[in-house]
Amino acid sequence: MIGSRCKKFLTVSGTILALNFIFFTFASAKDLNMVMKKGDIHPKLSSSLWELEKEYEKGVMAAQAYAQSRNLRTESPDKITVYLLSESGTIIDETSLQDYGGEIIKSADNVWKAIVPINLIETIADNVKGISFIKLPDRGIPVASESEGVGLTGASFYHSEGNTGSGVKVAVIDIGFAGLSSAISAGELPNTVVMIDCTGSSCVPTSFSSETVFHGTAVAEIVHDMAPESALYLIKTYDTLDLKDAKDYAIANGIKIINHSVVYSNTNFYSGECYNSNPACTAEDAYSNGILWVNAMGNYAEQHYGATYTDSKDYGFHNVSGADWNINIEASEGDIIKVKLTWDAWPTTDQDYDLHLFDSNINLVESSMTRQTGTQPPTEVIYYSVPATGTYHLAIRKYSATSDHRLAVFSLEHDTDPVVASSSITSPADAIGVMAVGAIDYENWTTGPQESFSSQGPTNDGRIKPEISGPDNVTSDTYGASFPGTSAASPHVAGAAALILSQNPTYSVSQLWNALTSSAADMGSSGQDNIYGYGRLNLPNFHPYTAMPWIPLLLLYEDKRSEWTGSAGFGELSFVVDSTGTRITEITYKWIEFSCGPAIRNGTITYTGMWPITNNQFTIEGTIDPNFEMTLRGSFDQTGTHASGTYEATSYGTICPGTWDAALLQ
């Protein structure tokens, strides 16, 4: 074994030496200034500062370009902050430094922090008494935080396999991107993000320098955690027309995935209907153009009321519960009560309902009484600044309608009593072509429940939503705390989609959709349901596992994947365990005159996949062809060199069981 390692070491070392020789020979031949001679650098200067001054001699722009490429922090185009080091017990001549335009900021022991002119760094090093060396300040290194969802959903497994989402363009369309430069310098986002502002008459490049809302930055951070090599487009919008512009920009720029952790109310009856360039139209058009649109479901399961209008006592007001007319809201002084009402009379109507808000003494404090005469949408909105803490009461009045309509009420800031969690979905999550995402606290990831606030399906036309669930309450550097809500769950799905698309660049949007939903780990009712969708996000071929105690040790010692081969009742088999020792990544069946049912099978087939090894055991199931299935079960023995188990072949309905035995290839 040691001999084998030596051989490998020599081979690798030899290859590196050979490549070095070829590269530098080529560089020399091309007269490339690849290597700076150590003697060129001033003995009292760090190489970066010495090179910066040389670049400055070419011009300010050249110096700035150099500083940017090396992440050097210049105070102005002409000055830079440095550390001046002195010999122990020696004082730097501050007057002399000032004569050269330098300025000491602070000092401790033999380190002096100063701002100096870039073009005089070498002169200062030579002429200011007491300086023994000049270097860049020792800066703290930011430690990037990562969402817990990266590991839970299988993204970290993809990363370890070398798939980080490269080649895929992902847009985060959101309402604000404050803190972007901090996020970039902290390593939470790449410095290559494309920044676009669609809130004006068209979409234009921007720097987001005067932003106040951090939401989009926090969302982008999660996409980047999930798919760090994907190209990020951060697009700011304000309303539904901006959203349409953003979608058009995405189409024009080859973006394949959009994350939209933002919702809209009162733009339809939450049935995914497309009216007047509403978000459902926009998202559907994106899907038609091959873009996967991933959207937060909304956080309104506890802030929604829905029912068909009834008025048993003929009061002219909707009976919410029995004869009660009131939907209650607990609000504190200084809160804003924001309530939106719509009814199923879209897109325009002459069926007129009004919305009223009463205080705890049943004094009317706010109303929304838009007159619907045939050309207006069926919507009412209340926006009320709360002057005193207490219970406030909403009432829905039928002002003029010829029939009883279905009503949908969203209280955007406060819980409602009573509450109707069902159909608390918002738009455009309600659209058919939108992958709607619910939220599960990452600490309850495998067990649930869904977050109590996470909006639920079905849509008001009876379609099941969401499609999938993502983790929330995850670590967020932007928020400096955990990031709760479907806003955080959604970008995990968008990032996962980027990883899948990077691995399968020819996938259509429907294939991408199916890859996400079919690999989701089913939760709640079997299949898609109105709580979890198809289940929690679980990237294809990722199988969470419990690691075996001894196989990893064995394989780490070997530092390579292990190959196993053996015989079986059907012929021969071999398989590969990856370097972590926790999953089988390849299985080869070789059938030799294998008789099962009416068929006799010969031949060899190899499959790749990710089959977990849990407690030393594994199961591999697969359909070989429509009339032939194989199920292989096995376990490893305690020596780590031997495995055995059973198989079941099913050929044309006939089940043929048997055993197998395999050994580790040394």
Of 585, 558, 570, 561, nearest to 645 by C-alpha is 570
Asked if residue 638 binds another protein (CB under 8 A), the reply is: no
| Beta-strand pair 231-236/194-197 | parallel
Of 568, 613, 304, nearest to 454 by C-alpha is 304
- Sequence-distant (≥ 6) Cβ neighbours of residue 98 within 8 angstroms: none
What residues from 294 to 333 belong to the interface with another protein (CB under 8 A)? Answer: 296, 298-300, 313-317, 319, 322-326
Residues, the chain: 666
| β-sheet bridge partners, residue 296 | 437
Of the candidates 221, 225, 245, 472, which one interacts with another protein according to CB under 8 A? Answer: 245
Asked if residue 133 binds another protein (CB under 8 A), the reply is: no
CA atoms of 98 and 92, how far apart (whole Å): 11
The three-state DSSP-derived secondary structure of 12-75 is HHHHHHHHHHHHHHHHHHCCCCCCCCHHHCCCCECHHHHHHHHHHHHCHHHHHHHHHHCCCCEC
Of the candidates 44, 169, 356, 492, which one interacts with another protein according to CB under 8 A? Answer: 356
* Sign, CA torsion 582/588/589/590: negative
CB 499 within 8 A of CB 446: no
Q: Which residue, 375 or 638, is less far from another protein as judged by CB?
A: 375
> What angle separates helix 215-226 from helix 486-503, to the nearest 10 degrees?
40
The least distance separating another protein from the CB of residue 372, rounded to whole angstroms, comes to: 9
CA atoms of 509 and 515, how far apart (whole Å): 10
State the amino acid at position 50 in one-letter form.
Answer: W
The tally of CA atoms less than 13 A away on the side-chain side of residue 212 is 0
Of the candidates 81, 376, 517, 579, which one interacts with another protein according to CB under 8 A? Answer: 376
CA atoms of 472 and 480, how far apart (whole Å): 15
Q: Which residue, 85 or 320, is less far from another protein as judged by CB?
A: 320
Of the candidates 62, 111, 136, 241, which one interacts with another protein according to CB under 8 A? Answer: 241
Q: Which residue, 154 or 533, is less far from another protein as judged by CB?
A: 533
Of the candidates 397, 405, 536, 583, which one interacts with another protein according to CB under 8 A? Answer: 397
The least distance separating another protein from the CB of residue 348, rounded to whole angstroms, comes to: 7
Of the candidates 40, 87, 126, 239, which one interacts with another protein according to CB under 8 A? Answer: 239
State the amino acid at position 330 in one-letter form.
Answer: E
| β-sheet bridge partners, residue 650 | 629, 655
CA distance from start to end of the chain: 9
Q: Please name the residue that has the structure tokens 């027309």.
A: 241
Q: Which residue, 53 or 380, is less far from another protein as judged by CB?
A: 380
The least distance separating another protein from the CB of residue 347, rounded to whole angstroms, comes to: 9
What residues from 266 to 295 belong to the interface with another protein (CB under 8 A)? Answer: 266-267, 276-278
Please tell me whether residue 664 adopts helix, strand or coil conformation.
strand
Tokens encoding 432: 């058919």
Of the candidates 92, 128, 263, 500, which one interacts with another protein according to CB under 8 A? Answer: 263
Pick the piece of the chain touching another protein (CB under 8 A) from 261-269, 540-548, 593-601, 649-657: 261-269
The least distance separating another protein from the CB of residue 263, rounded to whole angstroms, comes to: 5
The least distance separating another protein from the CB of residue 21, rounded to whole angstroms, comes to: 58
Asked if residue 88 binds another protein (CB under 8 A), the reply is: no
What residues from 152 to 181 belong to the interface with another protein (CB under 8 A)? Answer: 175
CB 636 within 8 A of CB 551: yes
Tokens encoding 355: 């919305």
Asked if residue 201 binds another protein (CB under 8 A), the reply is: yes
Of 429, 420, 487, nearest to 271 by C-alpha is 429
Asked if residue 375 binds another protein (CB under 8 A), the reply is: yes
Pick the piece of the chain touching another protein (CB under 8 A) from 22-30, 54-62, 133-141, 361-369: 361-369
What residues from 478 to 497 belong to the interface with another protein (CB under 8 A)? Answer: 485-487
The least distance separating another protein from the CB of residue 211, rounded to whole angstroms, comes to: 13
The least distance separating another protein from the CB of residue 331, rounded to whole angstroms, comes to: 16
Asked if residue 395 binds another protein (CB under 8 A), the reply is: yes
Asked if residue 418 binds another protein (CB under 8 A), the reply is: no
Of 179, 239, 182, nearest to 215 by C-alpha is 179
The least distance separating another protein from the CB of residue 559, rounded to whole angstroms, comes to: 48
Q: Which residue, 424 or 585, is less far from another protein as judged by CB?
A: 424
Q: Which residue, 230 or 450, is less far from another protein as judged by CB?
A: 450
The least distance separating another protein from the CB of residue 430, rounded to whole angstroms, comes to: 14
Asked if residue 255 binds another protein (CB under 8 A), the reply is: no
Q: What is the largest CA-CA distance in the chain?
A: 100
Asked if residue 206 binds another protein (CB under 8 A), the reply is: no
Query: How many chain residues bind another protein (CB under 8 A)?
Result: 71
CA atoms of 109 and 98, how far apart (whole Å): 20
CA atoms of 432 and 442, how far apart (whole Å): 27
Tokens encoding 296: 């937060």
CB 573 within 8 A of CB 587: yes
Asked if residue 371 binds another protein (CB under 8 A), the reply is: yes
Q: Which residue, 53 or 467, is less far from another protein as judged by CB?
A: 467
Q: Which residue, 74 or 459, is less far from another protein as judged by CB?
A: 459
What residues from 432 to 471 belong to the interface with another protein (CB under 8 A)? Answer: 455
Rounded to the nearest 5°, which phi and psi values hold at 593?
45, 45
The least distance separating another protein from the CB of residue 178, rounded to whole angstroms, comes to: 12
CA atoms of 162 and 140, how far apart (whole Å): 29
Pick the piece of the chain touching another protein (CB under 8 A) from 11-19, 360-368, 538-546, 605-613: 360-368
The least distance separating another protein from the CB of residue 324, rounded to whole angstroms, comes to: 5
The least distance separating another protein from the CB of residue 371, rounded to whole angstroms, comes to: 5
